[in-house]
Amino acid sequence: MPPLRALFRDPHFRRGVRDMLDFVPGVSAWGLVTGVAMVKSGLSVPLALLMSLTVYAGSAQLASLPLLAAGAPTGVVCAAAFCVNLRFVIFSAQWRPFLGHLPRRRRVALSYLLADLNLIVFQRAWPGGRREPGQLAYIVGGAATCWLAWQGTSVAGILLSEAIPTRWGLGFAGTLAMLGLTFGLLTDRSTWTAAMVAAAAAVAAYALPLKLNIVVAIAAAVAAGLVMDRAGRAGRALDRNP
């Protein structure tokens, strides 16, 4: 990696920063909400700071909060977060053509900093789909901008939330944010089915110990989603060849 000063002057780095600036208001609002929600759902300020600075994955953080508050075991919390984060597994395959040439340690470190937005913005800026000079500086510029906007506002939210009385119930802001995220993933019949099954199973199995209702709900929903998906494709195949 070039020295920092050379990087700041790199036009590709600057373009990476500029393209990300459009999204800074959204990222900032999201960071603020997550910061407040972390403390208001019961994390102490130092633990909330630790979470923000090490986990760096908004939806997974929000999803883990109710589980942490209920004292769920580490394995269950991590399993739920893993599922929420599975989209990054797909993204990592999409980053591969552009980062695969880096030494392993460096590509792993860089990928940790790459959120959903980074991929969307990158794909728009480099529509060619193949490795080109300047891409790395561009990626680093976007990643640094996103990280600063997120951490700055998340830390601000954590510190501010001490001033907000707990009886306002602002931990619920995290649930409302997750609700919007969930709606955004409802694209067809199989996703609707999966969401309904997951919601119903999580509520019905709530009495299970160790927050295992979350694990049961995810397993049931993925199974239902795959079955619906298969039925849907079989139906379409029949339509094509009656």
Partner 1 sequence: MSSDLHTALTILGLAAVSVVTHAFFLFPQREVKIPDWLQRGLKVAPLAALAAVVAPEIVLTQGRLIDTLQDARLPAVAAATLWYVWRPGVLGPLLAGLAAFLPLRLLLGW
- In the region spanning residues 119 to 178, those forming contacts with partner 1, defined by CB under 8 A, are 167-169, 172-173, 175-178
Q: In the complex with partner 1, which residue's Cβ is closer, 3 or 165? A: 165
Q: In the complex with partner 1, which residue's Cβ is closer, 5 or 236? A: 236
Considering only 17, 117, 155, 198, the residue that binds partner 1 (CB under 8 A) is 198
Smallest gap from residue 233 Cβ to partner 1 (A): 10
Smallest gap from residue 238 Cβ to partner 1 (A): 19
Q: In the complex with partner 1, which residue's Cβ is closer, 158 or 221? A: 221
Our finding on whether 51 is near partner 1 (CB under 8 A) is: yes
Our finding on whether 55 is near partner 1 (CB under 8 A) is: yes
Our finding on whether 74 is near partner 1 (CB under 8 A) is: yes
Smallest gap from residue 139 Cβ to partner 1 (A): 13
Our finding on whether 36 is near partner 1 (CB under 8 A) is: no
Contacts to partner 1 from residues 81-120, by CB under 8 A: 81-93, 95-96, 99-100, 104, 107-108, 111-112, 114
Contact at 8 Å (CB) between 111 and 104? no
Smallest gap from residue 9 Cβ to partner 1 (A): 28
**C-alpha distances out from residue 149 to 28, 30, 96, 210, 230, Å:** 6, 10, 26, 35, 41
**With CB under 8 A as the contact rule, which of the stretches 22-30, 120-128, 145-153, 154-162 interacts with partner 1?**
22-30
Smallest gap from residue 73 Cβ to partner 1 (A): 8
SS3 for the chain is: CCCHHHHHHCHHHHHHHHHHHCCHHHHHHHHHHHHHHHHHCCCCHHHHHHHHHHHCCHHHHHHHHHHHHCCCCHHHHHHHHHHHCHHHHHHHHHHHHHHCCCCHHHHHHHHHCCCHHHHHHHHHHCCCCCCCCCHHHHHHHHHHHHHHHHHHHHHHHHHHHHHCCHHHCCHHHHHHHHHHHHHHCCCCHHHHHHHHHHHHHHHHCCCCHHHHHHHHHHHHHHHHHHHHHHHHHHHHHHHHCC
Our finding on whether 1 is near partner 1 (CB under 8 A) is: no
Q: In the complex with partner 1, which residue's Cβ is closer, 21 or 179? A: 179
Report which residue type is found at 151: Q
